[in-house]
């Protein structure tokens, strides 16, 4: 699995997690939710006024999660519209915010902080931090989060005694996820449907990586060709059916695929080219998978609908990736970026038609997370020039820069939307 993180940003990221086959850091795996309701609670974030739609009567709050780097440390934060709130961590620690989710007008942020060499997973509810329980001396990460009703589900893993243990927390109470003896495991995605909690990930044993998912803590290994290694990168649930997107390598390059209730479908790419499935979304009976494949010395972004591929258009000679997917009614929205030789251009595609996202001249950028709310598409990311990066979000292509201290560099890596009617 590959992510095109700009090098100047990557060079200052906190220490990567231990995940096989990909560069990973505590900002990658995202859950994005949209709420369109009339909540009983007061509007969020004093001073962060909602944005009225033309004609009035509707207010919208765009909630983005991320981090910024100032001096020698990372600070986790979130923004309501463009107004920043730093998320508290213990004195001397550095924090990263991975995931944002909303319920009514309450804003949940999941992430982690590092202190004295150990990472502690945590979440913040409206800015108040709760540490997530770990065994003594362990380091852990929060990689995915879902709010269902009044309950908060966070999935991740922790490292102790030389191995990684996948787990999830429900309202802060941890459940370890079972693995074969001696294996190390990782969690990449989570979903909830009714009383069922779905966690997708993989584990390493005997030199191979096996994709799998857990339902309420019971593991199902996902089938691969004999001798292959694979990863489960994304999960989506429709009713009682679970879709897992990922890839596997049988020795001739990565094959993108998805599993429906454990049965694998390989996703077609031209001439058997190596490919990756990075994101999944479900609407009714249709499953949407976003990813890319290698072609002609570059990469072509694409998506598959029930296994049928559509290549996403790029300028001539460009190479691109698709990182996130969201569905609004019958419309599929894919967020990503492409490089024509002068740096990355953030963009999104709606039903295959590309819109480049506005960034200042002479900069490059990345569209990293997407959510559809009502008829609008919201995308979180950043743009950079040299060693500076500015977090931002786009609403239907119009950019809003997110406030960080002068001289800092930052990223917005998760997004959710609250709509009050």
Give residue-wise pLDDT tens across range 262-272: 999 999 999 98
> Could you report the per-residue pLDDT of 217-237, keeping only the tens digit for each?
999 999 999 999 999 999 999
Per-residue pLDDT, 402: 97
> Could you report the per-residue pLDDT of 311-365, keeping only the tens digit for each?
999 999 999 999 999 887 778 899 999 999 889 999 999 999 999 999 999 999 9
| Residue 38 clears pLDDT 70, i.e. is over it | no
Per-residue pLDDT, 56: 58
Give every CB contact of residue 161 below 8 A, 6+ residues apart in sequence. none
Band of pLDDT at residue 403, cut at 50, 70 and 90: very high
> What span, in angstroms and rounded, lies between the C-alpha atoms of 157 and 147?
19
Report the half-sphere exposure of 198 (CA within 13 A, side-chain side).
22
The count of residues in the chain is: 421
Band of pLDDT at residue 148, cut at 50, 70 and 90: very high
Per-residue pLDDT, 234: 95
Query: Can you name the residues that pair with 418 across neighbouring β-strands?
Result: 35, 61
> Could you report the per-residue pLDDT of 365-381, keeping only the tens digit for each?
999 999 988 888 999 99
> What span, in angstroms and rounded, lies between the C-alpha atoms of 203 and 207?
10
| Residue 18 clears pLDDT 70, i.e. is over it | no
> What span, in angstroms and rounded, lies between the C-alpha atoms of 289 and 245?
7
The rounded mean pLDDT for the chain is: 86
Q: Beta 344-350 vs 208-215: how paired, if at all?
A: unpaired
172: left (phi over 0), alpha (psi -120 to 50) or beta: left
In 10 A of CB 272, how many CB atoms? 12
State how far Cα 145 lies from the chain centre.
10
Band of pLDDT at residue 51, cut at 50, 70 and 90: low
Which three-class secondary structure state does DSSP give residue 78? strand
- The residue whose two tokens read 């009225």 is 52
| Residue 391 clears pLDDT 90, i.e. is over it | yes
Q: What percentage of the chain reaches a pLDDT higher than 70?
A: 87
Per-residue pLDDT, 319: 96
Instruction: Look up residue 56 and give its two tokens.
Output: 């009035």
| Residue 36 clears pLDDT 50, i.e. is over it | no
Quick one: average pLDDT of 253-278?
Answer: 95
Q: Which of 267, 274, 270, 239 is nearest to 253 (CA)?
A: 274
Per-residue pLDDT, 50: 55
> What span, in angstroms and rounded, lies between the C-alpha atoms of 333 and 220?
30
Give every CB contact of residue 276 below 8 A, 6+ residues apart in sequence. 1, 2, 233, 247, 254, 256, 291, 292, 293
Question: How many DSSP H helices and E strands does the chain contain?
Answer: 1, 34
Residue 136's alpha-carbon distances to 120, 158, 329, in angstroms, are: 11, 11, 46
Per-residue pLDDT, 20: 26
Q: Which of 282, 276, 212 is nearest to 246 (CA)?
A: 276
Burial-class residue 175 by CB neighbours within 10 Å (0-12, 13-18, 19+).
Answer: middle
User: Residues 212, 222: contact at Cβ < 8 Å?
Assistant: yes
Q: What percentage of the chain reaches a pLDDT higher than 90?
A: 71
Residue 395's alpha-carbon distances to 214, 392, 409, in angstroms, are: 35, 10, 22
306-320 as b/e: b if 16+ CB within 10 A: eeebbebebeeebbb
Per-residue pLDDT, 39: 33
Per-residue pLDDT, 58: 81
> What span, in angstroms and rounded, lies between the C-alpha atoms of 99 and 210?
25
What is the pTM (predicted TM-score) of this model? Answer: 0.86
Quick one: average pLDDT of 159-184?
Answer: 93
């Amino acid at each position: 699995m590959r992510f095109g993180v700009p090098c100047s940003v990557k060079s200052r990221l906190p220490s990567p997690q231990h995940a096989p086959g990909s560069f990973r850091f505590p900002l990658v795996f995202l859950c994005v939710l949209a709420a369109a309701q009339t909540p009983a609670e007061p509007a969020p974030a004093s001073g962060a006024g909602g944005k009225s739609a033309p004609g009035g009567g509707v207010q919208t709050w765009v909630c983005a999660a991320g981090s910024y780097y100032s001096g020698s440390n990372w600070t986790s934060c979130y923004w309501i519209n463009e107004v920043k709130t730093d998320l508290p961590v213990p004195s001397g620690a550095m924090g990263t915010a991975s995931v944002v989710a909303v319920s009514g007008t309450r804003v949940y942020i999941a992430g982690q902080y590092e202190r004295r060499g150990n990472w502690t997973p945590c979440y913040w509810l409206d800015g108040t931090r709760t540490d997530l329980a770990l065994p003594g001396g362990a380091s852990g990460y929060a990689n995915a989060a879902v709010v269902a009703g009044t309950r908060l589900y966070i999935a991740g893993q922790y490292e102790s005694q030389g191995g990684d243990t996948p787990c999830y927390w429900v309202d802060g109470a941890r459940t370890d996820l079972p693995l074969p003896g001696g294996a190390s495991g990782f969690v990449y995605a989570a979903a909830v449907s009714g009383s069922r909690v779905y966690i997708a990930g993989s584990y390493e044993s005997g030199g191979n990586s096996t994709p799998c998912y857990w339902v309420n803590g019971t593991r199902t290994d996902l089938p691969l060709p004999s001798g292959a290694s694979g990863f489960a990168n994304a999960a989506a649930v429709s009713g009682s059916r679970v879709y897992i997107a990922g890839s596997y390598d049988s020795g001739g390059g990565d094959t993108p695929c998805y599993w429906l209730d454990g049965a694998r479908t390989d996703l077609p790419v031209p001439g058997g080219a190596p490919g990756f499935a990075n994101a999944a979304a479900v609407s009714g009976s249709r499953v949407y998978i976003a990813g890319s494949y290698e072609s002609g010395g570059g990469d072509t972004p694409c998506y598959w609908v029930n296994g049928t591929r559509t290549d996403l258009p790029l300028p001539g000679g460009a190479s691109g990736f698709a990182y996130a997917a969201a569905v609004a009614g019958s419309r599929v929205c894919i967020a990503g970026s492409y490089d024509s030789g002068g740096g990355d251009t953030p963009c999104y595609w709606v039903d295959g038609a590309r819109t480049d996202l506005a960034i200042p001249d002479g900069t490059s950028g990345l569209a990293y997370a997407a959510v559809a709310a009502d008829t609008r598409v919201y995308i979180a990311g950043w743009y950079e020039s040299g060693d500076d990066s500015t977090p931002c979000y786009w609403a239907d292509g119009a950019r809003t820069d997110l406030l960080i201290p002068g001289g800092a560099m930052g990223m917005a890596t998760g997004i959710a939307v609250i709509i009050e009617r």
